Chains A and B, each alone.
Chain A
Amino acid sequence: MSWPLVLSLGAVAYSLKALGALVLGGRRVPAALQRCLLLIPAALLAALITKDVFTTGRELTVDARLAGLVTAALLSWRRAPFAVTVLFGVGATALLRAVA
């Protein structure tokens, strides 16, 4: 990994925060654009979840990671505290690997 990559991601990430918080803050954004921007986390978090659980490089795989996802989904759905969801999700995958 290169320093320019690390530092440029830092610069871009901070600029995006500043764009909303310091530059545009208090101004009106067109309603349709705001609705679209607010959907970015839903689309990207879902994409990252399935990528992290079901792919290895460019291959589709189903393995012990699925146990962590199912556990976390059930706990989140039952409104478990954040830390409980994370620790049990991670633990479910580790446990399945240990016994399998």
Chain B
Amino acid sequence: MTELPDKTDRKMGLVIDLDTCVGCHACVISCKGWNTENYGAPLSDQSPYGADPSGTFLNRVHSYEVQPQDGLAQLVHFPKSCLHCEDAPCVTVCPTGASYKRREDGIVLVNESDCIGCGLCAWACPYGARELDAAEGVMKKCTLCVDRIYNENLPEEDRLPACVRTCPAGARHFGDLGDPDSAVSQLVAERGGFDLMPEQGTRPVNKYLPPRPKDRIAAAPQALEPVVEKATGFLGWLDRALDRLPGGGD
């Protein structure tokens, strides 16, 4: 079984805003594109044009309906990928040391050349964030685009995970969650960011920002006051109102 580092220098991760995510799947496909061409084996697809297409994805968006006690039903879009946990059970369960958490930034990776495809890590992950690639027989997971975020062949502004760079609504943020002054930590503090399934004791690095309260408009402003009691009084009001405009009557 594999050890986690005592501590990591930084805690790089994602902050995902559930108030803003429209569920468009842009992050899903951008991730698929980058990681098919880059880190390790391509993300394969089985039966891509057939009855039961199933491919490897490192990031998926689920949609859940929420029915508040009183109030209108809501739909929440929930993107999910590896949360790069501080106490990552997928690492400690690995029999070969292929799964590991990086000391410098906390990213959890799979060293594919050591992976025997036993699937223990996928079983251990309470989030279902790992997928065994059916063509390659190795475990695939979010790399936080470790081959982008430090990549000197990319312009500095593009040194972001592909999913963050592409998100049209700006619902995904990337940064060091170990630094309380970082933009992402500030965002988490301001918006009440939360851990996914904290009871699992995995201490995920990624955070989610909750949806803002919805359907409050009826509780907000007072109904408009009519300027006239009867429709026939409208023209009189109009005349008086026009006089009050700059350059109006008097």
The reply to whether chain A is a binding partner of chain B is no
